[in-house]
Amino acid sequence: MSQARRTVAHETISTGSPDRSTKHHESHRDEAVTESLSVDVCVIGAGSGGLTVAAFCAMLGAPVVLIEKGEMGGDCLNVGCVPSKALIAAARRAEDIRTARAFGIGPTVPQIDFAAVQAHVRETVATIAPTDSVARFTALGVRVIRGAARFTGPKTVEVGGTTVTARRFVIATGSSPAVPAIDGLDTVPFLTNETIFGLAECPAHLAVLGGGAVGLELAQAFRRLGAAVTVFERDRILAKEDAEMTDVIRRRLIADGVTIHEGSEVSRVEHDGADIRVHAIKAGEEGAIGVSHVLVALGRKANVDNLGLEAAGIAFTPRGVTVDKALRTTNKRVYAIGDVTGEAGFTHVAGWQGSLVAQNILFRRPIRTDRTAVPRVTYTDPELAHIGLSEAEARATDPKARVLRWPFAENDRAVATRRRDGHVKLVVGHKGAILGCSIAGPEAGDLIAPYAVAIAKGMTVSDLSGIILPYPTLSEAGKRAAGTYFVSSLSNPWIGRIVRFLRRFG
Ligand SMILES: Cc1cc2nc3c(=O)[nH]c(=O)nc-3n(C[C@H](O)[C@H](O)[C@H](O)COP(=O)(O)OP(=O)(O)OC[C@H]3O[C@@H](n4cnc5c(N)ncnc54)[C@H](O)[C@@H]3O)c2cc1C
Ligand SMILES: NC(=O)c1ccc[n+]([C@@H]2O[C@H](COP(=O)([O-])OP(=O)(O)OC[C@H]3O[C@@H](n4cnc5c(N)ncnc54)[C@H](O)[C@@H]3O)[C@@H](O)[C@H]2O)c1
């Protein structure tokens, strides 16, 4: 059925009030009605990155159009961070029940109602959704347009019947699950992060293809919720992380009953009656297992298709939109941020880049995208958090860099709560500057926060070991690690001589 289109005479939007931003001067020509808007900033994609730019600019009075073709909030809210963390929280409850006997509490067999678990996941998303909603952004003064945006020229974007001209554009279209050309994969009903949170029943046996953050977080959660789980990873799990820290995570996953095949490349997938057969090659030999469900967690693909990037002179590769250090594309009035650049991979990075771009647009503030102080966390249990330089990276520039560790097994709070796995690892320059920190252990994602401050502010081990922390807390483990820096100094004979000398003076 052909739809009547509206034609609206060209209008320059001014914001500050939602009413003004949506006022049009309409002129009808035939049945077709189109709309032309001229604004300061046009943002494509209402995920973590795009919402940050739009909110920032609107709150400072700049006229903004925000275009979203799917759900407001993007991947993080709808099919990423939020539902995965809600599922992980439910799985953690189940595990707490299983391990309650050690605290003198039982019974210890959790009754898992998977439909109710998924209802909890949906409720979590629904509770957070108003923050990212059209209503909230409209109230902020943003003109939100629902539909797929496409560049039609260097300074115009079209969405539905609307043409948007802007002083600056921000591409924040995110990424989608990558589905590599694995033989037979297209013949079986595989899951991705876009579909797994809609499952009505817990899989009997879930094969997880890929041992990155998506794969491992969901592998452990589904195992704890009752599924048999097998992970296939062609490299080692969490290959971008320090192997010493990853060992802690691997041990717990295996103890939970997750089967992990590392160095194992998935080569073929096929139907096997009601089941699916996953073939993988390890050290030149092919093996196969039958499973009920397959989750593809093999990385991400930047959302660059059908954006009309060529029409706007914006260079891109299969990895994503090409940007310089100031997040500008090859069209200088267009920025790209977040997952679409092929580099971000985290909500807080997309948001951080969004605020940098907004400040650059509004105040011409130069953009510095040094990622040294960007933390990352994998929300397995125990969690794995990292910020700054790894041991290897630090040693490459400072051969005298030192590594300081403290195990949670020697932290009183961890002992009391029976969460003793893991340790803090500090990487310290030869003059004591904090260069990096990795934590594998309970609440590692929260514990990494002071190291973000320490690295951003150039703090040293003396600064860290001098602070007073409440007892008994997990945070003391990091302070104890910092304190080990001075142990060798304390055994130095000169220190003893100085102490004896000072004692003479009463
Ligand atoms: C399972 C999973 C768990 C995750 N967990 C975490 C976590 O715990 N912590 C963390 O920091 N990160 C996590 N991430 C990563 C995080 O979700 C992403 O880094 C983040 O969402 C990227 O934000 P973005 O704004 O770049 O893109 P997105 O959030 O993907 O938003 C892009 C938006 O653009 C829209 N769009 C695309 N094309 C067009 C178009 N042509 N016109 C209009 N709109 C368009 C899309 O519909 C989408 O809404 C997770 C990812 C996954 C898959
Ligand atoms: N906690 C978080 O912050 C969080 C959580 C989930 C996802 N994310 C982000 O989402 C993005 C995607 O994560 P992901 O886990 O899908 O991707 P990833 O790239 O981290 O991991 C994919 C893994 O699949 C493996 N692989 C590829 N082909 C294979 C094959 N044929 N057989 C076996 N293994 C194969 C790769 O070696 C790799 O380790 C990342 O950028 C991540 O940062 C972040």
Query: Is the C-beta atom of 213 inside 6 A of ligand 2?
Result: yes
Alpha carbon nearest to ligand 2 atom 40, residue = 345
Ligand 1 center to 171 CA (angstroms): 12
CA 339 to chain centre: 10
Q: Using the predicted structure, report yes or no on whether residue 123 has a pLDDT greater than 90.
A: yes
Query: Is the C-beta atom of 47 inside 6 A of ligand 1?
Result: yes
Q: The tokens 């817990």 sit on which residue?
A: 202
Query: What are the pLDDT digits (tens) for 60-90?
Result: 999 999 999 999 999 999 999 999 999 999 9
Alpha carbon nearest to ligand 1 atom 38, residue = 173
Contact present, 191 and 209 (Cβ < 8 Å):
no
99: part of which helix (H) or strand (E)? none
287 annotated as a binding-site residue: no
Ligand 2 center to 275 CA (angstroms): 25
Task: For the chain, give every domain's residue range.
Answer: 7-72+133-176+302-371, 185-298, 382-490
338 annotated as a binding-site residue: no
First to last CA, the chain: 98
Peptide bond into 493 cis (omega under 30): no
Average model confidence (pLDDT) for the chain?
92
Query: Is the C-beta atom of 172 inside 6 A of ligand 1?
Result: yes
Q: Judge if ipTM > 0.95.
A: yes
Local confidence band at 28 (pLDDT 50, 70, 90 cut-offs): very low
Class of the domain covering 7-72+133-176+302-371:
alpha beta
Query: Is the C-beta atom of 297 inside 6 A of ligand 2?
Result: yes
Query: Is the C-beta atom of 296 inside 6 A of ligand 1?
Result: no
* Residue-level pLDDT at 2: 34
* Residue-level pLDDT at 20: 34
Query: Is the C-beta atom of 302 inside 6 A of ligand 1?
Result: no
Over residues 124-153, the mean pLDDT reads 98
- Angular region, 98: left φ>0, alpha ψ -120 to 50, beta rest: alpha
Residue to mutate, 159, 335, 347, ligand 1, most ligand atoms under 8 Å from C-beta = 347
Measure the CA–CA gap between 353 and 448, rounded to whole angstroms. Answer: 21
Query: Is the C-beta atom of 163 inside 6 A of ligand 1?
Result: no
Residue to mutate, 183, 214, 220, ligand 2, most ligand atoms under 8 Å from C-beta = 214
* C-alpha separations of 273 from 292, 386, 416 in Å: 10, 44, 49
Nearest to 310 by CA among 429, 455, 154: 154
* Superfamily the domain 185-298 falls into: FAD/NAD(P)-binding domain (3.50.50.60)
* Residue-level pLDDT at 499: 62
Which ligand 1 atom minimizes the distance to the CA of 76? 17
Query: What are the pLDDT digits (tens) for 351-395?
Result: 999 999 999 999 999 998 888 889 999 999 999 999 999 999 999
212 annotated as a binding-site residue: yes
Span 382-490 CATH architecture: 2-Layer Sandwich (3.30)
Find residue 66's DSSP bridge partners.
Answer: 43, 144
Query: Is the C-beta atom of 347 inside 6 A of ligand 1?
Result: yes
Query: Is the C-beta atom of 212 inside 6 A of ligand 2?
Result: yes
Query: What are the pLDDT digits (tens) for 265-313?
Result: 999 999 999 899 999 999 999 999 999 999 999 999 999 999 999 999 9
Same fold: 185-298 with 382-490:
no
Local confidence band at 198 (pLDDT 50, 70, 90 cut-offs): very high
Q: Within 10 A of 242 (CB to CB), how many other CB atoms are there?
A: 18
Residue to mutate, 43, 81, 327, 341, ligand 1, most ligand atoms under 8 Å from C-beta = 81
* Residue-level pLDDT at 492: 66
* Residue-level pLDDT at 13: 53
Contact present, 451 and 434 (Cβ < 8 Å):
yes
